[in-house]
Structure 1
Amino acid sequence: MEFQDVVRKRRMVRKYDMERAVPAEAVEQILHNAVRAPTAGFSQGWGFLVLDNPEDIARFRTAGTPEDEPENWFSATFEAPLVIVTHSNKSAYLDRYAKADKGKTDRSEAWWPAPYWDIDTGMAALLILQTAVDLGLGACFFGLPVERIPAYREAFGVPEEFHPIGAVTIGYPAEPPRDLSKRRKATDDVIRRGRWTS
């Protein structure tokens, strides 16, 4: 598929054909591409938890579902043959930028203009979404409720240094494409050229 087709077709899919598993070679291609995302200082401070059997996915749903209004949380009702949970590791970045070649002498995060550990993990998640489209699959990125992160960590043995940024469900779409063109903001509303204000 041409790259512009991938960009054009990428959308959040919320209903999958549960009779079709994601082929193992597709899972490996998705993960291979995810770790090709850019990272500040080549820190590679991320981690991916792959859930591809019904028992693990059910445990993820249970761990992530909030107790208050559980029916309103997306993962309380989703069904997908594959879930990849993306995690950032801030320590990997602080360690990397405390090295001599980066000009810092400590692990302070005060001089970081933004949390690049989370941004870079988001870039990896986008590559997961795009690779899924390129392989003829659908995908959806969503976040975990903050109050459920401890339960998620306990259910899957996730170390404290890895923070879940979000999860991506993946599978063969079982819903028609939606036309979002009328809801998309006009480029003139979000793009400035040369100067923000005149």
Structure 2
Amino acid sequence: MEFQEVVRRRRMVRDYSDEPVDPAVVDRALANAVRAPSAGFSQGWAFLVLDTPEDVGRFWAAAADDLDEPDSWLAGMMGAPVVILPCSSKRTYLERYGEEDKGWTDLDEKRWPMPFWHMDAAMASLLILQTATDAGLGSCFIGIPPDKEAAVREAFGIPDDHDPVGVVTIGHRAEGEVPSGSPRTRRRRDLGELVHRGRWGATVRP
């Protein structure tokens, strides 16, 4: 699939069939994810892959309520046979920038204008989503509810120095699956509303 077609077709899929996902696609998605940019080439990310029915079930048991009577959203999401948790390591970034070629030996988090550890993990996550689209699969990026994070960490042994930035589900779209969520009720904003040229509010090329 051409890159522009991947970009155009990528969307959040929230209803999956039980058809298994080729492990080679998951491996390719992860290989692509680690090609994402990272500040100082810190590569402070890690990926928890859950691709067995038992592990996926344990994830939803830790991350969601009402598993016995799920609503339509949860029922659709629980059908995804692959769940990936991209995680970021702030410590890795702080230590990397304390090395000789960077020189921030105090490891002060306040030196960072933005939490690049989370941003880089998010960019890696997008490459996973795009790879799934390229393979003809559906995918979705969601967050872990704050009150469920501790349970997810405990269920899978996620260390304290790694923070899940979200959850990526991957699978084949369910038969009859249609776009859902906010895009049904909200229009895609025009570039003219979002792009500023030369100064804020200017939309015409100088």
Q: TM-score, normalised by structure 2?
A: 0.88
Amino acid paired to 1:43:
S
Identity of aligned residues (%): 51
Determine the structure 1 residue equivalent to 2:14: 14
Q: Secondary structure at the match of 1:173?
A: coil
1:45 aligns with 2:20: no
TM alignment of 1:36-185, pairs within 5 A: 36-65=35-64, 75=74, 78=77, 79-174=79-174, 175-178=176-179, 180=183, 183-185=187-189
Structure 1 residues 66 and 16 mapped into 2: Cα distance closer, same or farther (>3 Å)? closer
Q: TM-score, normalised by structure 1?
A: 0.91
Q: Structure 1 residues 73, 46: closer, same or farther in 2, change over 3 A?
A: farther
In angstroms, what is the RMSD of aligned CA positions? Answer: 2.2
1:40-90 deviation line (CA, Å, top 9, x unaligned): 0000001100001111111100111258xx957955762211011110000
The Cα offsets for residues 150-184 of structure 1, whole Å up to 9 and x where unpaired, read as 11110001100010100100011124453959610
1:194 pairs with 2:194:
no
Are the structure 2 counterparts of residues 72 and 112 from structure 1 closer, same or farther at C-alpha, using a change threshold of 3 Å?
farther
Q: Secondary structure at the match of 2:101?
A: helix
Aligned residue pairs: how many?
195
Q: Tell me the equivalent position of 1:26.
A: 25
- The one-letter amino acid paired with 1:11 is R
Rounded to whole Å, the distance in 2 between the matches of 1:76 and 1:97 is: 44
Letter of the structure 2 residue corresponding to residue 58 of structure 1: G
**8 Å contact kept, 2:14–2:76:** no
Deviation at 1:197, TM superposition (A): 3.8
Pair 106,170 (structure 1): closer, same or farther in 2 beyond 3 Å: same
Q: Is the 8 A contact 2:13 2:179 kept in 1?
A: no
- Deviation per CA, 1:9-28: give whole Å up to 9, x if none: 0000011121x211111111
Uncovered stretches (5+) of structure 1, i.e. residues with no partner: none
Give the match for residue 35 of structure 1: 34
Note the C-alpha offset of 1:6: 0.2
Q: 2:144, 2:166 within 8 Å by CA — same for their partners in 1? A: yes
Q: How far 1:106 sits from its partner (Å)?
A: 1.5
SS at match of 1:128: helix
**Gaps in structure 2 of 5+ consecutive residues:** none
Check conservation: 1:61, 1:75, Cα contact below 8 A.
Answer: no
Change (3 A) 1:53 1:184: same
User: 3-state SS of the aligned residue for 2:166?
Assistant: strand
Bigger drift between 149-158 and 170-179 goes to 170-179
